[in-house]
Amino acid sequence: MIISVVSGKGGVGKTFTSINLATIFAKDLGEKVLVVDTNFTSPTVATHFGVVPDSHTIDEALAKGTYNPTDLIWIHPAGFHFVTPSFNLVALDDQALNTIFEMLRPLFQNYDVVILDGPAGIGRDVYFTIANSDMSLIIANPNYPSLYNALKTAHFAKALGKMVPGAVLNMYRKGLVSPQEASEILELPLLAVIPEDPTVKEALQHGQPLVEYKPDAPAARGLYELAEALTGKEIRRKRGGSGGFADILRKIKDFLLS
C-alpha cells in the first residue's frame, strides 16, 4: 500500500503524521515501512531526526541515473526506512520528477507500507506524489484556509482515481472550526482528530517521533486513533510509556466519558 500524505496548505502536520504513522506501523504492527520525503526542494523528514542529509540522497541517484538501495536507504531507530533528497535540489521539471519516481518505484515493492510525505501546494511535485500512490491521506488544520486547500487537494486526488479514505484534523483545540464542520467542508469522514499539543514540538526537539517520545501524549493518542482507522485493527503498543496503572485510569476515564 502506497499512501500519499498531502494537504494543500503547508505546515499543517504532514511530516509529523507520516513519521509517527511509520513508527506505529513498524514498531507496533511489525510491518516493513518506507517513508519517502517527496519535498524534493525543501526536505524535512531527515531534519525531524536532527540529520542533515548531504550524501546517500535521492539527488545523487538522480545525477547517476541509478542507485544501490543500500546506499540510498536510511534506517530510523524506530524501525522504518526512509529516503531523502539533500538540500541541494532546486525546481525540478516533469522529466526529473518522473525519473525520480521511475527509479524509486521498484524499491516500493519491498515494503508493506510506503508513505510519501508530500510537499505543500498542488504543484507538479504534489501531482507526481499523488499519482504514484494508491491512496491519499488528507491533513488539515481547523481553519478555513487550510480546510479549503485540503478540499481542493482531496478533489485533485479523487480526479486522479485515488482512494481518499478520509482526513485528519490536526492541531485541533476548542474554539476553532469544529470537527463536524471540518468534515462537512472536506466532504470526508475524519479518521482522527489530533489535538494541538506542546509535546509535539518537544519530541521534535529530541529528534524522536512523538509516539516513541511520549506515547501517552494527547496528540500521540490521536495518531493511534488514525492508525487504527486506517488498518481497521486495534493496535497494542509495543513500547514504553506509562502503561499499567495509567492505562487502566485512561480506560476508566474513556468509559466514563463515552
Ligand X SMILES: Nc1ncnc2c1ncn2[C@@H]1O[C@H](COP(=O)(O)OP(=O)(O)OP(=O)(O)O)[C@@H](O)[C@H]1O
Q: Shortest distance, CB of residue 252 to ligand X, whole angstroms?
A: 25
Instruction: Say how far apart CA 21 and CA 32 lie, in whole Å.
Output: 12
Task: State the binding string over 154-193 for ligand X (x if CB under 6 A, else -).
Answer: ----------------xx----------------------
Among 4, 7, 13, 14, binds Mg ion (CB under 5 A): 14
Determine contact, residues 18/151, Cβ cutoff 8 Å: no
Q: Return the one option of ligand X, Mg ion, none that residue 57 interacts with (CB less than 5 to 8 A, by type).
A: none
From the list ligand X, Mg ion, none, pick the one residue 11 interacts with, judged by a Cβ distance below 5 to 8 Å according to partner type. Answer: ligand X
DSSP 8-class letter at 136: E
What does the angle CA 165 – CA 228 – CA 157 come to, to the nearest 5 degrees?
Answer: 20
Do 44 and 53 contact (CB within 8 A), yes or no? Answer: no
Count of residues engaged in binding Mg ion, rule: CB under 5 A? 3
Q: Whole-number minimum distance, CB 68 to ligand X, in Å?
A: 28
Look at the chain and count its residues. Answer: 258
Cα angle at 249 between 29 and 222, to 5 degrees? 45
Among 3, 4, 8, 16, contact with ligand X (rule: CB under 6 A): 16
- In this structure, the number of other CB atoms found within 10 A of the CB of residue 156 comes to 18
- Chain residues in the site for ligand X (CB under 6 A): 7, 10-16, 39, 44, 120, 170-171, 194, 196-197, 200-201, 204, 219
